Structure 1
């Protein structure tokens, strides 16, 4: 009957990195028996996503996420759970479910099935043995990579295009690079922050070349790894890395503006402003750079998920994951991910709450 939750304890403060002390793990009441139209859910996996860092500011800078207040239950972007009790016809005990967004960081909870802020979807029986795949590949993470590349990358097989991915060792970045290669890019180059990650991207995930931004002159490294310039840039980080990439992009090329992790700790609007120099480069070379939000492509979700699953089942797409154990591990795992502490792993980071 025990139950635990993670609450938001305090703001990091303007322009500060998050710390474990910004969170608190608390014992809480057992989930109540569901009333009419409700169901009780046991959390199995929690998704760790850099984007929720915005909710730790006084203003998230985006309209689709609200800021947390001290004492609030942490709401992540994704999770997987099992229905344990149900007063809803379409759900039965044992069903596995996921939301579109907003999974609470709590071991067990009750929810209304018609809550528009917590829209639930059943997970296919074929994924019962690997339900975490809906968080790393067959959910918003995989769809962001797939739709970003296919809808904004303008890749033409046989066109000898080069794609660069920043944050390439992350959950979305590693998939974006693989998908760009599957989509027809001649050359895919990943930017990340350690030699171990670089090696994994090349030897295990099929990247043609990599750049360790902590050890390299990024501008020179890009000239060497992208001798024909850059045609597609999947931007997960922003900041000076992205400015360096954009300076080497070809005319009529495309930036897929997915994330800006380099400035998530800054009190800036999203997407953050860029320098006049970079604005001039974008204008002179007719580079497209528009904000990408996967939720605007919901009509393409089903075909995207079908293609991702086909690639995965066919062995063409690999899905690296790193799983932390226990809900109490979530704050430290999230903070380490955001601050690059102890991070040598490639891929999606998850918390296993219950097996």
Structure 2
């Protein structure tokens, strides 16, 4: 087998060096350069082009049992990435292949070819889209709305964090699938305008103005049937109050409490679950990857037809990955937060 090499034999990577208490701080991390060992048989080296930073990564910074193992201290952190094979000792991947993988938070990644998969090639679709609208982010929206919440044509849908990477796709899928009304919450007037002006939401409100329950009741005078939860806390309470009989919630994330140093109190109105016969179901997309083919077929067609749109917030430089992550946690992004290496 022919071995392909390149001059660069170092990588720059972010490591977690202390478990954060509350909001992560710069001193909890370090950015280091390290030498890369020669490739072993069956391995490839990839120069990353884009890295993904996502809310779930905050949970991996804690040493706690969850659906995914915590980050190891003093080891390179992980996350979705897309890049180009620059050296290969594998028959499965060649130099020049564009690949998706989970070795983010670094500029160069290497390992067994089985840890990488060729990225789809679609005319006019930028490679970054496979880290969000046509990737796991989009699949999260698709599965959560259709499978977990059991969306039906004619439903009224409420999405919290609707201007984020997942939320922006949820509302559009609901509209494309025949929702009677789609309502979103977002932080700030510019994001509210984006929801109604670009993403096709029928109504949207700024949660930073307070009284989330009151604003939701005004936006959904006839109640809601489906709630897609990215935020938790006050938003979940508001949804419970506005639900119609037999309402369904897909609990995807609770970013409002990710940096909390103490457990958040439960919604004060949980009795609504009994009174209205509600279903609240949590999920993580990693258990639903069997739906990727269906999602890719539908979403790819919607995107090609211009019926599915998206936004990206891009931070340049692998050295600024932590800045991008913290900004995303503070709501600084519109659509998907990415790092362009």
Query: What TM-score bracket applies, with the shorter chain setting the length?
Result: over 0.9
The correspondence for 2:48, drawn from 43, 48, 55, is 43
Contact persistence 1:86–1:93 (CA under 8 A):
yes
Contact persistence 1:33–1:85 (CA under 8 A):
no
Contact persistence 1:137–1:319 (CA under 8 A):
yes
The correspondence for 1:62, drawn from 41, 63, 66, is 66
Q: Quick one: distance in 2 between partners of 1:135 and 1:82?
A: 14
Task: Find out whether 1:106 has 2:102 as its counterpart.
Answer: no
Q: Quick one: distance in 2 between partners of 1:298 and 1:337?
A: 25
* Pair 129,22 (structure 1): closer, same or farther in 2 beyond 3 Å: same
Structure 1, residues 51-110: CA drift from partner, whole Å, max 9, x if none?
Answer: 000011121x413x222243221112x1101111111111100001113xx323211122
Q: Quick one: distance in 1 between partners of 2:70 and 2:286?
A: 19
Q: Quick one: distance in 1 between partners of 2:194 and 2:130?
A: 23
Q: Quick one: distance in 1 between partners of 2:251 and 2:44?
A: 37
Q: Quick one: distance in 1 between partners of 2:152 and 2:171?
A: 15
Q: Quick one: distance in 1 between partners of 2:123 and 2:33?
A: 31
Contact persistence 2:18–2:28 (CA under 8 A):
yes
Q: Quick one: distance in 2 between partners of 1:133 and 1:231?
A: 30
Structure 1, residues 128-176: CA drift from partner, whole Å, max 9, x if none?
Answer: 961111111111100000111111233332x3x2111001111001111
Task: Find out whether 1:84 has 2:89 as its counterpart.
Answer: no
Unaligned runs of 5+ in 2: 1-7
Contact persistence 1:190–1:210 (CA under 8 A):
yes
> What SS is found at the alignment partner of 2:209?
coil
Structure 1, residues 219-242: CA drift from partner, whole Å, max 9, x if none?
Answer: 221111001101110000111221
Tell me what 2:302 maps to.
311
Provide the aligned length of Structure 1 versus Structure 2.
333
**1:61-210 correspondence to structure 2 within 5 Å:** 61-63=65-67, 65-76=68-79, 78-99=80-101, 102-114=102-114, 118=115, 120-126=116-122, 130-157=126-153, 159=154, 161-210=155-204
Structure with larger RCO (C-alpha < 8 A, sep 6+):
1
217-226 vs 121-130, which deviates more? 121-130
Q: Quick one: distance in 2 between partners of 1:152 and 1:268?
A: 28
**1:249-288 correspondence to structure 2 within 5 Å:** 249-266=243-260, 274-275=266-267, 277-288=268-279
**1:15-34 correspondence to structure 2 within 5 Å:** 16-29=22-35, 31-34=36-39
Contact persistence 2:149–2:281 (CA under 8 A):
no
Q: How far apart are 1:267 and its partner, in Å?
A: 5.6
Contact persistence 1:5–1:105 (CA under 8 A):
yes
Q: Quick one: distance in 1 between partners of 2:151 and 2:106?
A: 41
The alignment's C-alpha RMSD in Å is 1.9
Tell me what 1:5 maps to.
13
Q: Quick one: distance in 2 between partners of 1:69 and 1:294?
A: 22
